[in-house]
Amino acid sequence: MSTGSDHEDLKAVVEEVEISGNPNGTYAAIMSKHKVSAWGSGHLRLYLLCGVCFLNSTMSGFDSSLMGSINTLPNYTNYYGLPSNGTASTGIVFAIFSVGQMCAALFVWVADWQGRKRFIFIGTIGVIVGTCITATAKNLPTFIGGRFLLSFFATCACSASPLYLVEVAPAQYRGTLAGLYNTFYFIGSILATSSVYGAHKHLSHHGNLDWRLPLWLQMACPALVSIAILFFPESPRWLVAKDRHEEARAFLVKYHANGDSDHPIVKLEMQEMIESMRDDGVTQWKNFFDLRVLIKSPARRYRTMLNLTFAWFGQFSGNNVISYYLPYLIANVGIHDTDTKLLMNIIYALVGWIFSTAGTRFHDIIGRRKMLLGSCAGMIIALSITAGTAAGYVKTGSKASSSASIAFIYIFGAIFAWAWTSMQPIYPAEVMSNDMRAKGMGTYKLMGGAAGFLNTFVAPIALSHIGYWFYVFFVFWDLFEFAFMYFFFVETKGLTLEEMDDIFESKNPRKASTAVKKMKYTSFIGADGTKREEVMEVA
């Protein structure tokens, strides 16, 4: 801090601010002194933009619960000649969604080439086409082909949406605002399970309407997004990468500073984005398959490791087995009525939505690491009890064991949703640098699709052969996840995407991200009481 002759006639007022993670802490320090109203006009407009993007997340939740629900309907299984219990043929109908997801992951680079919003538009239009094919399919191969297309284009839209949200959200609300995206997974799930329940209740005697009508509804949210997205502004980081700096600055002024063009946060964010993009811009179609950007330095390898492990953990912690095969799991503990199983699917989705929505705000208060670790510990306990009570029911036929097993299936879902749902796929996007992010979302989708395929193809076979022992396997797997996250996962709370560069360049990124430092904030006040200058430095 300078205290020379320029400041001799000024009164210095010194304040100290504690910040976590970033060695410089510029963003956190500025926001501590120059707060931006969360309810200003620009922020309210930003919330509306994000709200439309949230609708894309309903696609995954809709499909997950839709297929789990219609698979219990006799009209559906009889029409395609599927067995009433889980086998390999059932699994491929589910697992083709993961295959489409992995194939689409190879094209996420288009979001860098053509822009985030255009790629979202392409994806939503493709979902509409895929829905038309599945809803009218006359045979199982056509139905599976339609599901592949639906999955492929849903992944396009659902890859670009988190990119957009992470890049447009202010750092102090990023966990909340971007995190709300994946909570709409449960909105889709609720819409799917409710539509199947209602259709089965009232249309089961009208041919195949009880399962074809819910299939048609799968295009409702994508259709709304495909119209609205055309009027969206582009991501400011994508604009900077394309040397459209004035448009990027206009976005920051309007949506981050509530129209205040002189707010210091506008200058800071522009400087950080330009500096970040100076050496490596966004991916072009010519260099997408050059993956060296993901591994060419220790910091980049660490980022990629977090991206891939989170993708696997998010799909392979016992959660997908329960959401896709909840009706079978309930049947395993003695409930066989179709309407009851559908109702319990709806309740499971409601529980997940409530807890995931509540959890989004806590990511910006408690932090990502603490929430993920706490949730993982809770999942281990819930799955252990579920396995024990399910074993008790199988061996004794005890209704008390059956009821306890079902209760802890729901408790597991609530614990997972509270911390994990809102961070998928936000955390994998956060930990990637600007020039890595699109390729990183491709690797995230590829790894997540592989984990999902293994889950959905193997799960019905495992459940039919080893029953509750499948829970026991995930107990030990989640113990491994807890240890891995404790030693390697970084904290991203409250940092801009560019400030994380300092974290990953440190010797131990995990320790650097959780370190607490003090910033000295010195204001120089003139004789007339007006503030003349502000200086920040590490205390």
Categorize the per-residue pLDDT at 405 as very low, low, confident or very high, splitting at 50, 70 and 90: confident
Concatenating the DSSP letter of every residue in 311-364 gives HHHHHSSSHHHHHHHHHHHHHHTT---HHHHHHHHHHHHHHHHHHHHHHHHHTT
Categorize the per-residue pLDDT at 11 as very low, low, confident or very high, splitting at 50, 70 and 90: low
According to the model, what pLDDT value does residue 9 have?
A: 57
Strand-pairing partners, residue 538, are 519
Q: Give the pLDDT confidence of 336-358 residue by residue, as tens digits.
A: 777 777 787 778 878 888 999 99
pTM over 0.85: no
| pLDDT higher than 60, residue 239 | yes
| pLDDT higher than 80, residue 442 | yes
Q: Give the pLDDT confidence of 21-55 residue by residue, as tens digits.
A: 454 557 777 777 788 998 999 999 999 999 999 99
Please, which residues have CB within 8 angstroms of residue 378's CB and are 6 or more apart in sequence?
415
Look up residue 256 and give its DSSP letter: I
Categorize the per-residue pLDDT at 19 as very low, low, confident or very high, splitting at 50, 70 and 90: low
Domain ranges in the chain are 36-232, 238-281, 294-489
According to the model, what pLDDT value does residue 431 have?
A: 95
Mean pLDDT of the 478-499 span? 93
- Look at the domain 294-489 and name its fold: Growth Hormone; Chain: A; (1.20.1250)
Q: Which range among 205-209, 251-255, 459-463 shows the weakest confidence by mean pLDDT?
A: 459-463
Q: What is the mean pLDDT of the chain?
A: 84
Q: Give the pLDDT confidence of 371-399 residue by residue, as tens digits.
A: 999 999 999 999 898 888 878 877 887 77
Q: Which residue has the higher pLDDT, 86 or 392?
A: 392
Categorize the per-residue pLDDT at 5 as very low, low, confident or very high, splitting at 50, 70 and 90: very low
b/e map of 271-281 (b: 16 or more CB within 10 Å)? ebbeebbeeeb
Q: Give the pLDDT confidence of 446-455 residue by residue, as tens digits.
A: 898 788 778 7
| pLDDT higher than 70, residue 134 | yes
According to the model, what pLDDT value does residue 319 have?
A: 77
CATH class (in words) of the domain with range 36-232: mainly alpha
b/e map of 525-535 (b: 16 or more CB within 10 Å)? eeeeeeeeeee
Here the tokens at position 391 are 């074993």
| pLDDT higher than 70, residue 152 | yes
Same fold? 36-232, 294-489 = yes
Mean pLDDT of the 454-477 span? 78
According to the model, what pLDDT value does residue 354 have?
A: 92
Q: Which of 155, 153, 160, 162 is nearest to 182 (CA)?
A: 162
